[in-house]
Amino acid sequence: MQYHLNGFTPGHPDVSVAAQKPARQNGANGLPEKVDVLIAGCGPAGLCLAAQLARYPEIATMIVEPKLGRMEKGQADGINVRSMEMFQAFGFAEAVKRESYWVNETTFWAPNPDKPGQIKRVGRVQDVEDGITEMPHVLINQARVHDFYLDIMKNSPSRLEPDYGIKVLEVSVDPKADGYPVTVTLERTDPERVGQIETVRANYVVGCEGARSNVRKSIGGALHGDAAHQAWGVMDVLAVTDFPDFRMKAIIQSQGEGSILVLPREGGYLVRLYVELDKLHEDERVADRGLGIDDVIAKAKRILQPYEFDVKDVVWWSIYEIGHRLTDKFDDVPADETATRTPRVFTAGDACHTHSPKAGQGMNVSMGDTFNLGWKLISVLTGRAGPELLHSYSQERRAAAQGLIDYDHQWSRVVGARPDEADDEMPLVQKKFIEGGKFTAGLTVNYAPSSLIGGKEYQDLAKGLDVGMRFHSAPVVRLADGKPMQLGHAVNAGRRWYVFAFAGKDDQGQKGNPIAALSDFLENDPASPVNRVRKEGEDIDTLIDLRAVFQKGFRELDHTKMPSLLRPAKGRFGLVDYEKVFCADLKSGEDIFDMRGIDREKGCMIVVRPDQHVAQVLPLEAHAELVAFFEGVFLPA
């Protein structure tokens, strides 16, 4: 984290100086007449997007929520490792680590062959496979995730806060309008003004208000799919029990009473249980059964036999039925009009895909949606990319959601099925859990080739950093101060792209070698992508940030001998940025070149998008290819 660039700034470094005149201007009714982006819903998807936009006070942003205040408890709780990597880009991963429950081990329970009415432990596995990430899989109240985003918003230059007590009724788009083509009809829900109608015009609208989304309905979207016709109860409880794995994640399958997922929660005492209840008829809904918390507790007690289970306090509970549904498209442009129109309205999260909570992916995939969309909206609204860029959101995220639906279909059936007959083999649910480990960790999203994702012609130069997938971090040491760190933690949420240049054999940054040649080209050649997109007065790394990684240890290199682009002068004082150059971590033995399959002889460039996905792998000398790639991303300055 860097600050004090333009002068000493006292106080908390996470609190930015407020913009003198943010773009959003409210009228007499407390609402603006026009905004650049209106977000419907203060769930994880909506707040993730708002937190990105809030850092750009030149973008007028509004986020509305029918509830009258922030969430306090309930709903989702699982944070997979990919989301933790994303939290790192926002700057609050360490705070989540401190507060949350870490899922280290998962145990599996099945009927006891000697006493079929009772359960016994039949297996256990490490929850997150070694080597796939530096982040833990954690459980934490969804409301706390909201709080972290809300803190970013209120501490940002725009001082963005939600407009509570307002819901979106409908949106309409005038494709021929030059500016603010989306008309949004809002309804007040607070007691003093309930039912009052307001209107705001917007350049873009994003519906993040759940499965009953009015934004989705307004653009003709519908959720297609099926339901498993199975009722499940979920409860957060404080309880006393002799069940031995009450502080372990546990998957329990009984002989005839159904299944339970045990998920310990933060704080050392709270535990969440997902409890299988009744099968539903084809045309029946959960509400028709009249089930309540007493039914959930009673069912849990029967499944947990022979163990005692005494609930002392129910913090939150709900009963739901599983549904697997997906919309045709995540924006408002019909498929046959993509060549002539660009999107103005988007949906994200449950507004465009629903699934069971048992795979622990709902909140994670929803945030992944708007982490993908956020930097694209910022790039377009700040004039750095054309609006055609926004077509890529639906293309990329619908494919990711389809993968989740397919997996969740399979996993729900396995968890809800009758357990295998007891034998010496691993239970089916344990096998499927292991097989799906990388998927549930959030690490299998692979964006297809496009203007934002290059080809794989040079993939052999970095075999462990797949084009289209997230940038897999690894340990390095920063040259200027000898700090051990994760290279991926250099990527921050926003609109900036990163070019990581991995040095080849004997390249120490000296003139005549590929790292120096690349740096000189990017800094001094008028045709370079850095100079093509840079505006007068901007720091040289505003949109494209070059970082270098060398094979030598940090004591063998001299920072002052590095190319000038790797120690650029920035800000009003022309201060040197000392955080662009890294070395392999030879002391720990975790050499990033070996860990990520980097070609030691030639080295390579890794182009990384603002959402942490690898966009291209190129040879260090491939200057023309780098120019061509960024021409497909940015508008010239």
Burial label for 298, CB within 10 Å (0-12, 13-18, 19+), is: exposed
| Claim to verify: residue 313 and residue 231 sit in the same structural domain | yes
The CA distance from 558 to 198, in Å, is: 62
Residue-range definition of the domain harbouring residue 512: 459-631
Which of the residues in the chain have pLDDT under 50?
A: 421-423
Query: CATH number of the domain that 311 lies in?
Result: 3.30.9.10
**Residue 52 placed within a domain:** no
Alpha carbon of residue 84 to chain centroid: 8
Whether residues 419 and 562 share a domain: the answer is: no
Residue 268: count of CB within 10 angstroms of its CB:
8
What is the DSSP-derived secondary structure letter of residue 508? -
Q: Count structural domains, the chain.
A: 2
Residues 428, 149: Cα–Cα separation, whole Å: 39
Which among 154, 187, 164, 122 is positioned nearest to 51, based on CA atoms? Answer: 154
Same domain, 513 and 436: no
Q: Kindly state whether residues 540 and 577 are assigned to the same domain.
A: yes
Evaluate whether residue 172 is within a structural domain: no
Q: Do 557 and 509 contact (CB within 8 A), yes or no?
A: yes
Whether 426 and 485 share a structural domain: no
Contacts of 453 (CB under 8 A, 6+ apart): 447, 467, 468, 613, 615, 616
Residues 431 and 535 in one domain: no
Computed from CA positions of residues 13, 18, 24, 30, in that sequence, does the dihedral angle turn out positive or negative? positive
Q: Are 428 and 517 found together in one domain?
A: no
603 and 570 within one domain: yes
Task: Say whether both 415 and 537 belong to one domain.
Answer: no
- Per-residue pLDDT at 76: 86
Flag whether 291 is in a domain.
Answer: yes
CATH code for the domain in which residue 496 is found: 3.40.30.20
> CA 263 to CA 246: how far, in whole Å?
8
Domain assignment present for 107? yes
Residues 416 and 560 both lie in one domain: no
Q: From 378, 352, 374, 376, select the one nearest 365 (Cα to Cα).
A: 352
* CB neighbourhood size of 532 (10 A): 18
Question: pLDDT at position 212, please?
Answer: 93
Residue 279 pLDDT: 75
Q: Residue 134, Cβ neighbours under 10 Å: how many? A: 17
End-to-end Cα spacing for the chain:
27
Name 341's Cβ contacts closer than 8 Å, sequence gap at least 6. Answer: 175, 333
191: number of Cβ within 10 Å: 8
Q: Is 253 exposed, middle or buried (0-12, 13-18, 19+ CB in 10 A)?
A: buried
Other residues' Cβ atoms within 10 Å of the Cβ of residue 380 = 21
| Residue 316 bridge partners (DSSP) | 236
Distance CA 36, CA 180 (A): 7
User: In the structure encoding, which two tokens stand for residue 586, read together?
Assistant: 């030879």
Q: State residue 37's pLDDT score.
A: 98
Q: Work out the burial of residue 318: count CB atoms within 10 Å of its CB; fewer than 13 is exposed, 13-18 middle, 19 or more buried.
A: middle
Nearest to 580 by CA among 598, 602, 565, 591: 565
- Same domain for 469 and 597, yes or no, is yes
Interior/surface letters 445-460, b for 16+ CB within 10 angstroms, e for the rest: bbbeeeebbbeeebbe
Q: Where are the alpha helices (DSSP H) in 214-361?
A: 214-218, 286-289, 293-303
Residue 298 lies in a domain: yes
In this prediction, residue 422 carries a pLDDT of 44
Burial 604-622 (b: 16+ CB within 10 A, else e): bbbbbbbbbbbbbbbbbeb
Q: How far is CA 619 from CA 460, 500, 518, 563, in A?
A: 10, 11, 10, 18
The verdict on 465 and 432 lying in the same domain is no
The pLDDT score that the predictor gives to residue 12 is 95
